[in-house]
Amino acid sequence: MPFGPKARLVLMHLCSEAVRHKSPTIEIADNLTTFVRNMGFTDSGGKKGPLTAFKEQLNALAHCSIRISSTEPNKVKANQFFPIEEMEMWLSTDSRQPSLWPSKVTFSGVMYESLQRHAMPYNQRVVRAFQGRARKLDIYFWLNWRMHNIKAQCVISWDAIAEQFGSGSSRQRDFKAQFKEEITHIKEVLPKTLQLEFVVR
């Protein structure tokens, strides 16, 4: 299963490339290494190198399925799909130079259609600042989505926020304190022109 910040960064990069090139198929043989460097990681391989960890998360994404469910007063809806339909890799004829990245990744039709309808811009400076923190990345993308899609004031209960981000917290009081601190960190990194008006009580 994909996990951690690197899986989030890889998926973010693939989605961005698909939107930029207007194609579900992404050529990644070279640009993913550049992306890893831009995120502040070294481009070293080896058993414990960052590139190896990113490759492992890409492989995990290529073999996982996503399940989305929603609950309304009189209806429960669930959908399951594979984000990546195909991954193609050219193998080197030189055993001393194994292929670092797959050559191509193709999103499934469901995933690409969703990207076309719901893609949003992101701030690379903010993402890089939290490249090692999975939950801060999740909170930033959640806030980013709301900043680009909600035009009026929206009140969200602590129960709803805790249900989405509070796994691992045994007491809501502790979760509230940590969540407020994380929101403060994100606001400090956001450009002044994009500062969100997010009040936590």
d(CA 86, CA 186): 35
pLDDT at 74: 85
Q: Which amino acid is at 43?
A: D
CA angle, 27 then 33 then 39, to 5°: 120
pLDDT for position 166: 83
The residues with which 67 forms a beta bridge, in sequence order, are 80
The distance from CA 158 to its chain's CA centroid, rounded to whole angstroms, is: 23
What's the CA gap between 201 and 195, in Å, rounded?
18
Name the nearest CA neighbour of 29 among 101, 129, 137: 101
At 1 the pLDDT is: 85
Q: Which helix (H) or strand (E) holds 137?
A: helix 134-149
Residues near 75 by beta carbon (within 8 Å), at least 6 away in sequence: none
pLDDT for 171 equals 86
pLDDT of 78 reads: 87
pLDDT (0 to 100) of residue 192: 63
Q: What are phi and psi of 157, to 5 degrees?
A: -75, 155
Q: Cα dist. 37→49, 121, 159 in Å?
A: 12, 20, 38
Q: Is this prediction's pTM over 0.85?
A: no
Residue numbers in the chain where pLDDT is lower than 70: 30, 90-102, 192-201
What pLDDT was estimated at residue 52? 85
